[in-house]
Amino acid sequence: MPGVSARGLSQEERRQLAVNLTRVLSLYRSILDAYIIEFFTDSLWGILPCSWQEALDGLNPPQLATLLLGMPGDGEVVRYRSVWPLTLLALKSTAYALAFNRTPGFQTPSEFLENPSQSSRLTASFRKHIRPKKQHEIQRLGKLVKKLSDLTGCTQVVDVGSGQGHLSRFMSLGLGLKVKSIEGDQRLVERAQHLDQELLQALEKEEKRNPQMVQIGSRCSPHHVVQWVDPRTLCEELLLPLEDSPQGGARLLLTGLHACGDLSVALLRHFSCCPEVEALASVGCCYMKLSDPGGYPLSQWVATLPGYELSYRLREGACHALEEYAQRLQKAGPGLRTHCYRAALETVIRHAQPKLRRPGVQGIPRVHELKIEEYVQRGLQRVGLDPQLPLNLAALRAHQSQENRVVAFFSLALLLAPLVETLILLDRLLYLQEQGFHSELLPIFSPELSPRNLVLVATKGPLGQAFSVLESEDS
């Protein structure tokens, strides 16, 4: 998907992009603020201009992927069946033009060509217990952190929100970095320590089988710490050097792989406030969990712009996977009807209990195999209502006949969602720039595998041409 490169923008260009984004988001806020499960209760189709309705009505899912989202299938020729209104074409062009480009700048053969569950860029020992998505993420981010550490002279990496320690383990035992691993969940830390020992044993066996195997530096497991990081205060544990750090104090590099909500903000604040932190490499996620206020906006510039506010719904929408949904549209599988069924269920819930709005409905398995009335009955039971309530089958069938409209509206909102993520990340760049630091955003993961794929790289001093090293990929 085309877009604006986040790399190398001047402060003035970043500020102007923020202005443009807030204007566009204000213009289309009615679409972005809408909940798809209220498609029928709130007559969401009716909020679209009539000319848009005519253009989108009747489009099947593959046509929506191709014409609206701009993601045609392999070898597919883009052909409009009718003349689209200029306002809809303008929306499509604007959504493409203002969102950060999330396609990595390097093209390499897929690491999963030989085996879809095993990255060819990790040895078997480092792949064990790790899903393909996480394999892809840890090897890409880990190698970027290693290069950034070398460029900035850092002596210690701090992995914040480390979970089961997959990234920390790869950086320490695979890349030879000194790593402190901070995680607030005791159970995850215990699991990480168990996996550390398991990997060490596996590596020792490999060395005995293959004495010629090259070892990267001294083999040392991550140092794990159980610690919650409060985004409102500085965490002393995060800043403490490891026992074997050189005299004069450690030079720290902070990293977080999909640091959730305010945890990404905490990393930014520690970087900007603490002289011992020299560099940062952070991939954020879960924008809907950002504190309001406190987590957004961070920059003085964005806080002054009209329409800068981002509701929970907008921030939640920014976490959806555009590329993955486009692939689902191209396949046109029956699973796409879930939103339509849930929206129909909402009408029944409102009729039975008017004050009950958008209740959480625990996953109903194999939705695509159910008749709409069967889905509604199971949904009613899950929200504590009588599943035997009399149903208006004619109304449910009428809702089901609008499945493609529901999919079209959701696709329209999804087209705009990357603009919200762009504004949130742009605000972080501007915040760091206002503090006098150097920062860039790089698309580091394949967006099809890992939708939140932009890593924020920040340093206390300019890297200049050396920054290009971070954009290249090892062969």
Residue type, 272: S
Return the DSSP state at 77: P
Residues recorded for the chain: 475
pLDDT for residue 103: 85
Question: Residue 99's closest CA among 417, 447, 413, 457?
Answer: 417
Q: How far apart are CA 268 and CA 255, in angstroms?
A: 10
Instruction: Split the chain (475 residues) into runs of 10 and give each run's mean pLDDT.
Output: 80 96 96 95 96 93 91 73 90 93 74 86 89 93 95 94 95 94 94 93 84 63 91 82 69 93 93 93 93 90 96 92 89 91 96 92 87 94 93 96 96 95 97 94 89 92 80 68
Question: Residue 294's closest CA among 328, 326, 268, 313?
Answer: 268
Cis check: omega of the bond before 293, within 30 degrees of 0: yes
On whether the CB atoms of residues 243 and 233 are closer than 8 A, the answer is no
Q: How far apart are CA 278 and CA 316, in angstroms?
A: 32
Q: How far apart are CA 31 and CA 212, in angstroms?
A: 60
pLDDT for residue 247: 59
DSSP lists the bridge partners of residue 259 as 284
pLDDT for residue 214: 55
Q: How far apart are CA 250 and CA 445, in angstroms?
A: 29
What pTM value is reported for the model? 0.92
Residue listed under structure tokens 């603490």: 274
Q: Let me know if 26 is exposed, middle or buried by CB neighbors in 10 A (0-12, 13-18, 19+).
A: middle
On whether the CB atoms of residues 224 and 181 are closer than 8 A, the answer is yes
* Encoded tokens for 178: 């000194």
pLDDT for residue 215: 57
